[in-house]
Amino acid sequence: MAWHYNPVVSWDQKVEKYLSQALGHSEFTRITHALSRPSLKQSVRVNTLRSKVEDVASKLNSSISLTSPASSLHVHPQIPYILTLNGAGPRNVDYSPCNGREVVVNRMAGEAILRGAQVYCPGLLAASGGLAAGDLVGVSVALELPGSRWCGIPRGMVLDGEGKKRQKQQRSCHEDNGVGGQGRRPGLGAEVELPDRTHLFLGMGRCVQGRRAMFRNQNGLAVEMVDRVYDVPSLNGILPGEIIAQALPSILAAQVLAPLPGSRVLDMCAAPGGKTTMMAQLMQDRGEVIALDRTHAKVTEIRAYAASLGLTSIMAIKADATRAVKGWQSKDKTLSENPSDKPRQFGTPEEEMSSMNEDGGEAFEGFEPESFDHIMLDPPCSALGLRPRLSHTWTLDQLYRMADYQKALIHAAVALLKPGGTLVYSTCTINPAENEGNVKYILQRWGGRQSRSCEEEAALACKMKLIPAEPVLGGPGLSIAECASMNSQDMPWLTPYDADLVQRCDPSDRDGHDTIGFFIAKFKKEIL
């Protein structure tokens, strides 16, 4: 048996129509296809404050040649402290040594396996009966059913042979593992119609433990992958403190801001700290990088991350960045509270929207207006550019709400920036409302015609000038010219001139970088 990995990942209908209109049908189709595959070019940032690029390259070469002989390593031609690690795939895996034995993992585990991870017990949903340690198994991923966060496969289910569509749920079946949300689950002993998995096999693995133990254990390795559809080397635990695995456009965003040593920089939405640490590195760890995040655990994470890289210029503070201007603490929230008790899953609407509503907590007075030389605003976003992604559950309403939330952060950023200072606005989404839409909002709102009518507005009586986001690795933004046939009145298109100043990184490898979908815009603050 050799199945071809070819998942069909669907969108909410209205979102599909909107994105397909905005990006063009063929571009949207290409992007949807790319998003369900891992990027085959991984970027590794070298901590140049600690190590030399050539030393790291040679150490990394020897460690990956042992684990992933098919991979290769190159210094990035435009940004010399980035190493690009090339993976391979998709490959046809021969599953015949498995003799029909298999395991099914949940979506999050499946996405991690595509990025090079192993199969851990919590990610398992179902397995063939009688599996023993040492057995070879085909590993497939279950996708959520349309309109539901349940995938149709109850955890603990016994699979009795690939290809069989109807399976009897066994008495040993465990209750839902928390991945499920809505949708009716079958009772014990019920007949279950299994979704077709033939295009969802991710490779072949060897069981590390028997079936019973796999489902009994809460943690630990269940299956070690021996042959994968995509061979993307895992960098977990390799050269700690010397390298940082980070998506190319995320590194690029900090490089576009290019803060100089000695400057005062604010990273408004900083966790886990990829751009924060990158900016401190560009500043030779001299000056001040203030990193805000509204989640306590994430602030702790930024501090630990900075310490592990030996950076001392970073100060992480738990704060709500929409209120980071002194005197704005009593401002109304833009969004109503939306506490979520659902399991946290990165990039789902629930995860991203709940991160907006974490308690602002710690006493924080805010910063004086116009007190930062540079500001990085990489706000929570719909993350529709991240890959591999095997489920798209955002609704149009949620996408617009996200763009509105970002506007509240933009207001604070503009107020906190010194005249002459620069702001980078970036997202990891392909959603025009959060990208070109917010750039257009800034240009309309701070186009140079404000009156100094009230105290707060005084801090905002400025012009935000769109300036080139350089170095250029991505393509231009969406412009009116491209979409002339559409009703562009309410659409967030930019003028062709402005579209050329921003960068839209295309996840479908159109620009040759085979990376995530990303957007970067840079502004300079001018006083009227």
Residue set of the binding site for S-adenosyl-L-methionine: 269-275, 293, 320, 378
User: d(Cα 119, Cα 110) in Å, to the nearest integer?
Assistant: 8
265-273, 441-449, 451-459, 479-487 -> range binding ligand SAM (CB under 6 A): 265-273
**Does 294 interact with ligand SAM (rule: CB under 6 A)?**
yes
Q: Closest distance between ligand SAM and the C-beta of residue 398, in Å?
A: 15
**Does 115 interact with ligand SAM (rule: CB under 6 A)?**
no
125-133, 174-182, 263-271, 506-514 -> range binding ligand SAM (CB under 6 A): 263-271
**Does 45 interact with ligand SAM (rule: CB under 6 A)?**
no
Residue among 207 and 291 whose Cβ is closer to ligand SAM? 291
Binding mask 371-390 for ligand SAM (x = CB under 6 A): -------x-xx---------
**Does 299 interact with ligand SAM (rule: CB under 6 A)?**
no
Helices vs. strands in the chain: H and E counts, helices first = 13, 21
Binding mask 56-85 for ligand SAM (x = CB under 6 A): ------------------------------
Residue among 101 and 389 whose Cβ is closer to ligand SAM? 389
Q: Closest distance between ligand SAM and the C-beta of residue 24, in Å?
A: 26
Q: Are 399 and 438 in contact (CB under 8 A)?
A: no
Q: Are 197 and 140 in contact (CB under 8 A)?
A: yes
Residues from 229 through 258 that contact ligand SAM (CB under 6 A): 250
85-93, 174-182, 208-216, 273-281 -> range binding ligand SAM (CB under 6 A): 273-281
CA 207 to chain CA centroid, nearest Å: 30
**Does 321 interact with ligand SAM (rule: CB under 6 A)?**
yes
For the question of residue 428 being annotated catalytic, the response is: yes
**Does 46 interact with ligand SAM (rule: CB under 6 A)?**
no
Instruction: Write the DSSP string, 435-464.
Output: THHHHHHHHHHTBS-----SHHHHTT-EEE
Termini Cα distance of the chain: 69
User: d(Cα 74, Cα 41) in Å, to the nearest integer?
Assistant: 10
Q: Are 504 and 475 in contact (CB under 8 A)?
A: yes
Strand duo 119-120 + 82-86: pairing = unpaired
| Binding site as annotated, residues | 269-275, 293, 320, 378
- Please list, residue by residue across 288-306, b when 16 or more beta carbons sit within 10 angstroms of its beta carbon and e when fewer do: bbbbbbbeeebbebbeebb
- Residue from 265, 292, 311, 520 that binds ligand SAM (CB under 6 A)? 292
Instruction: Write the DSSP string, 314-367.
Output: EEEEE--GGG-BTT-TTPPPSS------SPP-TTSHHHHHHGGGS---S----B
User: d(Cα 313, Cα 285) in Å, to the nearest integer?
Assistant: 5
Selecting among 428, 454, 462, 505, the annotated active-site residue is 428
What H or E segment, with its residue span, contains residue 66? helix 53-67
Q: Are 296 and 318 in contact (CB under 8 A)?
A: yes
User: d(Cα 289, Cα 278) in Å, to the nearest integer?
Assistant: 10
Residue with the shortest CB distance to ligand SAM:
269
- Residue from 38, 259, 274, 385 that binds ligand SAM (CB under 6 A)? 274
Amino acid at 117: A
In sequence order, which residues have a C-beta less than 8 Å from that of residue 90 and are 6 or more positions away?
A: 4, 5, 37, 229, 230
**# binding residues, ligand SAM (CB under 6 A):** 21
**Does 272 interact with ligand SAM (rule: CB under 6 A)?**
yes
Q: Closest distance between ligand SAM and the C-beta of residue 167, in Å?
A: 40
148-156, 211-219, 317-325, 480-488 -> range binding ligand SAM (CB under 6 A): 317-325
Residue among 87 and 273 whose Cβ is closer to ligand SAM? 273
**Does 345 interact with ligand SAM (rule: CB under 6 A)?**
no
Residues at the interface with ligand SAM (CB under 6 A): 250, 269-275, 292-295, 298, 320-322, 355-356, 378, 380-381
Catalytic sites, residue numbers: 428
